[in-house]
Amino acid sequence: AGAVIRIKNFAHPISVARKVLEEIPHLMLSGKGAELFARLMGFREISPNEQYANTDDREIEKLPEDYREFVRKYSKLLAEQRTFSTVGAVAIDSKGHIVAGTSTGGIAHAFPGRVGDTPIIGAGTFASRSAGASATGLGEGILRVSVTRKLVELVEGGQAVQEACDRVVEICSERGFQCGVIALDAEGNAGLSHNGFFMPTMYSRFD
Ligand code: ASP
């Protein structure tokens, strides 16, 4: 696995994450180290205006002196959030190798420095020899449940991939947060489930 967090001014952080997977023994790089690694790998830097990010250093400067007021206000907005911008993919090749990838701009109304579920292996993204999964929704909830790891373990335990998707989303609903998942098992069967928000999905098969 490979992941990067807090990386700025690169157009496709997930491509840098893939290089982490391929090139170094670590699983995750963050901040300036991730940016240095991206440069070393030959990725092109873009200007801040060309990228999309919900919370950046400019917002840190805007933080009110009474940060508790900020946290109260934004915690409420965070819990009410209903739109998610994460992009996820799960694929299996003809040899049965399963991969999953997830990339996000994060969420709105987050405290600067917040890390969501997306780059955390087993939370927003997970793949084993048996199944792979990608999640979207409220990161704070997805992290607590370890949604994609749980989903894959359910498949490993004998559940059909669609049932496993439904089960993890049911757990998220019981806990009161929004979540959506896509998944594939080792036979290429696809599953998807989400609890009620707009989540466009696509499935393709190339024989
Ligand atoms: N899961 C992402 C996060 O919490 C948000 C999303 O799915 O769009 O950072």
Q: What CATH code is carried by the domain that includes residue 94? A: 3.60.20.30
Ligand 1 pocket, 146 CB below 6 A? no
What pLDDT is recorded for position 64?
59
Between CA 85 and CA 91 the distance in angstroms is: 20
Give me the active site residues, please: 86
The boundaries of the domain holding residue 20 are 3-48
Summarize pLDDT for 76-130 with one digit per residue, the tens. 776 676 666 799 999 999 999 999 999 998 887 777 788 999 999 999 999 999 9
Tell me, yes or no, whether 77 and 112 share the same domain: no
Give the list of residues 6+ apart from residue 31 with CB closer than 8 angstroms, or none.
5, 6, 7
Residue 3's identity, in one-letter code, is A
Ligand 1 pocket, 185 CB below 6 A? no
Instruction: State the total domains in the chain.
Output: 3
Report which protein residue has its CA nearest ligand 1's atom 4.
139
Instruction: Confirm if 29 and 20 have CB atoms less than 8 A apart.
Output: yes
What pLDDT is recorded for position 162?
98
Q: How many CB atoms sit inside 10 A of residue 140's CB? A: 16
CA atoms within 13 A on the CB side of 70: 13
Summarize pLDDT for 31-80 with one digit per residue, the tens. 999 999 999 999 999 887 665 555 455 555 566 566 677 677 777 776 67
Tell me, yes or no, whether 77 and 94 share the same domain: no
Residue among 14, 134, 138 whose CB has most ligand 1 atoms within 8 A, to mutate: 138
Q: How far is the CA of 105 from the centre of ligand 1 (A)?
A: 8
Between CA 70 and CA 61 the distance in angstroms is: 13
Tell me, yes or no, whether 90 and 60 share the same domain: no
**Is residue 206 included in any domain, yes or no?**
no
What is the value of pTM for the model shown? Answer: 0.87
**Is residue 200 included in any domain, yes or no?**
no
